[in-house]
Structure 1
Amino acid sequence: MTLLFIYLFIALFISFLCSIMEAVLLSVPISYLKSKLENGDRSAESMIKLKEDIDKPLSAILSLNTVAHTVGAAGVGAQATIVFGDAYFGIVSAVLTILILVFTEIIPKTLGANYSKELVGVVSKLINASIILTYPLVIISSLLTRVLARSKVELTTSREEISALASIGTQEGIFADKENKIIQNLIKLKSIKVSEIMTPRVVVVIANEEMTLQEFLKNKEFLHFSRIPIYQTNKDNISGYVLRTVVFEKLAEDQFDLKLKDIKREIITFPKSTTLFKAWDEMLAKREHISLVIDNYGGMDGITTLEDIIESLLGFEIIDEKDRVDDMQKYALDRWKSKQKKYDLLKDVSKKDENKNS
């Protein structure tokens, strides 16, 4: 009778530990482990290594669990037959099955999943010991895994999953709505094109590079913008841009006859299919705040600024203390509509004059 309970205890205890190890290994988030590692937790480093090569620890756990179940069932069955006789073998098997289900599956896996973070230190040591104990079986399992596993390494996390996690975090109160919006916009930076946020060509304020600073100052429209693209020959041939502050500096030095081309800066050029992420990266690297967006034929399609990209990321307008207008794109569009309206009125007047003359 004593031997029966010894077999039963060993089988249940080893299987209990195996189930806890498996649950903790699969449940503890890699992000949590890396944050603990940054704080100097060495057990987190051990668990990260196990999760990065998860086939080995899983093979060790499953091998040890299988041996425990097999030896335990055989030992308990043999002792039960000796103690109770063949008549009670079926009852003993049923009781053993229930005990295995409850004490080696339900309870340990529930504990492992719920307390995975707290059990990292103990479990990482137990798993490493299990790998050493079942090393021959682990090697065989690893060879089989290499043969049967997919050659392509699958990503553990996708952009969609991160987006969903941020949304869940907002619902649970971890993130504010604005924080969630920034995360969602950040994830989309590689899919949004500059053409989607640019100021279109028809509303861009540009100046002729042959214009003098005196002429520039007389045009009040230029004073609303800190960076003004300039063109050479025709408006599709953008040759650079000028800084409003530099213009004012030169005017303060009485250089009224200086031309815009004499103080122009080179402008970064992007095809309209360029992503916001790429444009943002290049503009930051070159320390530029404005870029030219070109169409398929190399002509000007519009302009985009670093401010536009950051506003797309944050989800709201950035207003400088020197800005006279809250939304420069809207201002440019309204200005264009106003000019278009005046043009239409002039056309109507011309038509009326023609009708009178005829």
Structure 2
Amino acid sequence: MEDTPLSALFIALIVCLASSAFFSAAETAMMAINRYRLAGKVRKGFRPAVRTQKLLNETETLLGIILLGNTIINTASATLATLITARLFAGNEFALGIAVLLVAFAILVLSEATPKVIAATHPEPVAYFASGPLALLLRLFYPAVWLVNVFVDALLRLMHLRKHKNNDTALSPDELRLLVLESGRFMEKKHHTILLNLFELAKITVDDVMTPRHQMEMVDLDMPADLLRQQLFTSHHSRLPIYAGNPDNVLGILPARKLLSLTEDNTDADAVRSLMRQPYFIPSGTPLFTQLQNFQENHRRMGLVVDEYGELLGLVTLEDILEQMIGEFTTHSPATTSPFARQSDGSLLLDGASSLRDLNRKLKLGLPTNGPKTLNGLILEYFEDIPETGTCMVIAGQRLEVVQTQDRSIRVVRLYPQ
């Protein structure tokens, strides 16, 4: 070393610092690269991506070659700095200490912090660039890396720590939902909304979207023939639940299109019985995603929701579930009114039977949905009694006023603006 020119030592020191910067950047880029974007490039056959994927599949050996190279290079940098200082300031211990500090600062700034920040900001191009040299170095120094990993494995066993295979890239439903939330700016708003709604299908039940029993249009076969014909031929629904005497005793579902085969003269209870289909019952609390699959498997579009005692609670259709995913359809019954009406003072008059989930979605409210499903039920639970007209309250930060009550329920509620 004494015969080595001083210029050669300086060049070697610069090369060591640059090499250390390469290993530092490669480590950060490999760990920070987006695995899903990388997988997409691999499917397209992008060679640097394929090479990077192979290295990441063997994380232990990848980290082994990076750390091995970085350790050797940094040691060489410190040694070269000592030799250069000894040549320039022989016997000056203070100068030697300053040189060590300068080399440490250079390694920290030039070989660690700066390349790692660059790699963290642009992980893909850095990882693709570094994958070639790393793959070559891994082939050349594989025995040394293998030996290092043997000692690492032995130390982990001694500490009773188990290594996990590199299969932690799978996302849980909550993590996947968070990924969709954060990727909203990369897709159309409508598509983004639909994807988010899909995650909610497993949490929402048929009780949240069903038409309550008291709002269902049902046909009683025991009514007089003229009234029966009038109800059948004036209904705006495509499917009608049929019962005889007791609404809990649903006999079947009548598709409205089958009425085309009848005339007013031959439309009676027996004719309706011959056309109706067996009812399809849905247990209360069934998640929407499960029910969507059940509709598909049973080739049904409508079902009757019943509780554990078999009592009828309401009706849910395929359209009700689809609306939770893609928004409301426009094919509503003419008799159906808007669940809210805006007043001149800015307040809204809400139907007490309105679904809390629908109100939250349409009006951007935060009403609790983990208990009652309707606005009427929420207020009754809040007071534990039927409030009088004019009673005001604040629920979830929303100021509400009972406008009208009828038949032991709240029919109209006023929502005041914030």
For the superposition of Structure 1 and Structure 2, which TM-score range results when normalised by the shorter chain?
0.7 to 0.9
Note the C-alpha offset of 1:9: 3.2
SS of the equivalent of 2:125 reads coil
Could you tell me which residue of structure 1 aligns to residue 113 of structure 2?
Answer: 106
Instruction: Report the alpha carbon displacement of residue 71 of structure 1 after superposing the two structures with TM.
Output: 3.3
8 Å CA contact 1:7, 1:76 repeated in 2: no
Post-superposition CA distance 1:228-254 (Å, at most 9, x none): 233467432445422111232x32698
Q: Which residue pairs with 1:125 in the alignment?
A: 132
For 2:322, the equivalent position in structure 1 comes to 310
Moved more, 280-289 or 74-83: 74-83
Q: Which amino acid aligns with 2:242?
A: I
Counting only pairs closer than 5 Å after superposition, residues 142-221 of structure 1 correspond to structure 2 as 147-149=160-162, 157-170=171-184, 173-175=185-187, 177-208=189-220, 216-219=228-231
> Structure 1, residues 16-44: CA drift from partner, whole Å, max 9, x if none?
12122122212221221233233332433
Structure having the larger proportion of residues in strand: 2
Which of 220, 225, 228 aligns to 2:237? It is: 225
Q: Does 1:292 align with 2:304?
A: yes
Q: CA deviation at 1:308?
A: 0.9
| Structure 1 equivalent of residue 89 of structure 2 | 84
Cα deviations by residue, 1:94-152 (Å, 9 ceiling, x for unpaired): 11112111221122222222332233433333343344423332454456567525769
Scaled by the length of structure 2, the TM-score of the pair is 0.66
Worse overlay, 177-186 or 250-259: 250-259
Instruction: Give the aligned partner of residue 33 of structure 1.
Output: 38
- Partner of 1:24, secondary structure, is helix
Give the unaligned 5+ runs of structure 2. 1-5, 340-350, 355-403, 408-418
Choose 58-67 or 143-152, whichever is displaced more.
143-152
In the alignment, what sits opposite 1:62?
67
Q: 1:246 and 2:258 equivalent?
A: yes
Deviations along 1:159-206, one digit per CA (max 9) or x if unpaired, are 455545545555xx5445544433332222221122111111222223
SS in 2 for 1:148: coil
Q: CA deviation at 1:272?
A: 2.0
1:355 alignment partner in structure 2: none
Q: CA deviation at 1:3?
A: 5.0
* Larger fraction in helix: 1
- Counterpart for residue 93 of structure 1: 100
Cα contact 1:213–1:259 (8 A) shared by 2: no
Question: Would the aligned equivalents of 1:21 and 1:126 in 2 still touch at CA under 8 Å?
Answer: no
Cα distance change of structure 1 residues 34 and 79 upon mapping to structure 2, 3 Å threshold: same
- Equivalent position amino acid for 2:26 in 1: M
1:347 alignment counterpart: none
Are the structure 2 counterparts of residues 37 and 242 from structure 1 closer, same or farther at C-alpha, using a change threshold of 3 Å? farther
1:253 & 1:151 partners in 2: Cα distance?
A: 74
Distance 1:36 1:274 in 2: 40
State the alpha-carbon separation in 2 of the partners of residues 19 and 280 from structure 1. Answer: 51
Match of residue 371 from structure 2: none
Task: Count how many residue pairs are aligned between Structure 1 and Structure 2.
Answer: 331
Report the CA distance between 1:67 and its aligned residue.
2.6
1:208-241 deviation per Cα after TM superposition (whole angstroms, max 9, x unaligned): 5788998754215872111223346743244542
Partner residue of 1:137? 148
Measure, in 1, the Cα distance between the counterparts of 2:239 and 2:188. 35
- Among 6, 23, 26, which residue is 1:21 paired with? 26
Distance 1:198 1:253, change over 3 A: same
The aligned counterpart of 1:283 is 295
Greater CA drift, 28-37 or 229-238:
229-238
Which residue identity does 2:230 align to in structure 1?
Answer: K
TM-score, normalised relative to structure 1: 0.75
Identity of aligned residues (%): 26
- Contact kept, 8 Å, 2:10 with 2:84, in 1: the verdict is no
Q: Distance in 2 between matches of 1:208 and 1:319?
A: 29
Query: What is the alpha-carbon distance in structure 2 between the residues aligned to residue 41 and residue 74 of structure 1?
Result: 41
